Amino acid sequence: MLHSNNHRQKKCILTETPINIQERKNKKTAIDYKRTRTENVKVQAKNTEANEQVKKSIRADKQKYMEELETTTEKLQKEEI
């Protein structure tokens, strides 16, 4: 029996990033449907830009998440003392 393919959003990813990921996927499918080489090059340039933006937003989200975890653990440690 195979496991279900439920896409769960990670805790460290904020709400804006999945929207960016969906836009990136749409641009990637647009590459597949372009027929001429010049159109394909233009769309690929937009796609690489979208990839960079998604990667930056994911890194920023993870950084914020780790900082929040750090502050909560510090608060818990202070309460124990």
Per domain, the residue ranges of the chain are: 36-81
Query: What digits encode the pLDDT tens for the residues 51-65?
Result: 898 899 889 988 998
pLDDT in tens, the chain (81 residues): 455 666 565 666 666 778 888 888 888 887 777 778 888 888 888 888 888 988 998 899 889 989 999 999 999 888 886
64 contacts 14 by C-beta, under 8 angstroms: yes
How far apart are the C-alpha atoms of 11 and 36, rounded to whole Å? 41
Rg (CA), the chain: 19
Whether the model pTM is above 0.85: no
